[in-house]
């Protein structure tokens, strides 16, 4: 991954092209389908869905599919700035090709343009997401693991099974487990500490209104829509004036997710939806709904120290095959902070945790970064806040 340092006080430019004058929507749709198909044949992940945007200048096969695509690499901000926890210097995280293509289709003409004669963008993204999951379930896909490890500098020494030849397919590696000691719980003996649910890029907000000011620009983003509940539902009452933590998992991340609190497992609800990319440029796009439109699975957890309900929303995304619950599938199960709840099959994904107002006070550095706004790179078990003292 190419990382480029920048000054944190420099405005983060979300500029995206309004058009690719040399390419039609059909060209882009065909290109996305072709790179997914190519992932079944090529073991090198940087030669298909993970082609870095900067590499498009020299990628003749991609340019032959999508005329003008190399302009993205030259002229536009095709990635995101992220700051590592405990540092003051952010880095630039490049965007893989599939995310850029998905966003271009969504932002420019999603409601107006019919693709390939009969399909809409929403249908195309769903089909490609399902297809990618099937490709990476195939034993043949195990040949891509080494390239993936090398491309993203994945630390195999922290894996429960460090021998990558033992994984039967790519998705089995993608949902890999870590050694029990690989993600220690920070301040484990302090029962007031709330910890990160995932290896991720994190933003936190004391209220939905603050989240919409700095980060989530979807016009329909609110807690009832996120939880798929009518505004008058009694289940919404505990989440009035709720605080939010948004955990974005990039493709390179460890993709099992964990409990941030000591809790009792409650109900689960699955909500069918779309497969939009969860890249920040999509989340930050004015009027574009991602978090409340995508396929998602909602798990309610009873926070044992306060007795309050917390909503844990696992959200699928472009090329994500599935959301699987493991430790969180049996109602009444008691979990400790850091215990596994589930995992995502292939793709970058997001978890949104909705805390009742009186439950959490987020750590100052995370609040400050989120209001810049910039994501903070954290790992499972890192402190993200403390239980708010009782009034």
Q: Any idea which residues carry the catalytic annotation?
A: 199, 258, 349
Angle at 249 (CA atoms; ends 225, 94), nearest 5 degrees: 115
Distance separating alpha carbons of residues 313 and 352, to the nearest angstrom:
5
Distance separating alpha carbons of residues 221 and 279, to the nearest angstrom:
16
Contact 318/275 with Cβ under 8 angstroms?
yes
All residues at 6 or more sequence positions from 206 whose CB lies less than 8 Å from its CB, including other chains: 243, 362, 367
Order of strands, sheet of 334-335, starting from the edge strand that comes earlier in the sequence = 90-94, 79-84, 375-378, 200-205, 243-249, 349-355, 309-315, 296-303, 263-271, 334-335
Other beta carbons less than 10 A from residue 154's beta carbon: 18
All residues at 6 or more sequence positions from 260 whose CB lies less than 8 Å from its CB, including other chains: 194, 195, 196, 197, 245, 337, 353, 384
């Amino acid at each position: 991954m190419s990382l480029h340092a920048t000054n944190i006080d420099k405005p983060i430019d979300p500029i995206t092209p309004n058009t690719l004058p040399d390419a039609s929507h059909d060209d882009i749709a065909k290109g996305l389908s072709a790179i997914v198909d190519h992932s079944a044949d090529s073991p090198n992940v940087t030669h298909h869905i993970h082609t870095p945007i900067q590499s498009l200048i020299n990628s003749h096969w991609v340019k032959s599919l999508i005329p003008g695509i190399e302009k993205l690499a030259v002229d536009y901000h095709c990635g995101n700035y992220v700051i590592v926890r405990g540092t003051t210097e952010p880095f630039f995280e490049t965007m893989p090709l599939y995310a850029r293509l998905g966003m271009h289709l969504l932002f420019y003409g999603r409601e107006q343009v019919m693709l390939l004669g009969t399909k809409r963008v929403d249908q195309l993204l769903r089909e490609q997401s399902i297809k990618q999951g099937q490709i990476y379930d195939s034993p043949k896909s195990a040949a891509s693991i080494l390239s993936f490890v090398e491309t993203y500098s994945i630390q195999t020494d922290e894996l429960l099974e460090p021998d990558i030849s033992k994984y039967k397919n790519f998705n089995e590696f993608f949902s890999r487990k870590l050694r029990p000691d690989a993600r220690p719980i920070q301040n484990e003996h302090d029962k007031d500490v709330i910890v990160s649910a995932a290896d991720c890029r994190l933003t936190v907000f004391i209220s939905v209104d603050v989240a919409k000011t700095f980060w989530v620009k979807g016009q329909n983003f609110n807690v009832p829509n996120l939880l798929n509940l009518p505004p008058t539902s009694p289940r919404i009452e505990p989440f009035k004036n709720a605080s939010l933590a948004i955990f974005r998992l990039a493709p390179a991340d460890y993709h099992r997710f964990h409990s941030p609190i000591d809790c009792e497992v409650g109900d689960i609800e699955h909500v069918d939806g779309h497969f939009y990319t969860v890249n920040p440029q999509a989340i930050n796009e004015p009027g574009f709904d991602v978090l409340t439109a995508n396929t998602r699975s909602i798990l309610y957890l009873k926070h044992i120290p306060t007795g309050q309900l917390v909503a844990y929303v696992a959200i699928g995304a472009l090329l994500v095959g599935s959301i699987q619950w493991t430790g969180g599938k049996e109602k009444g199960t008691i979990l400790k902070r850091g215990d596994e709840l589930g995992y995502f099959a292939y793709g970058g994904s997001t978890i949104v945790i909705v805390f009742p107002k009186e439950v959490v006070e987020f750590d100052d550095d995370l609040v400050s970064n989120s209001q810049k706004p910039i994501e903070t790179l954290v790992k499972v078990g890192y402190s993200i806040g403390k239980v708010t003292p009782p009034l």
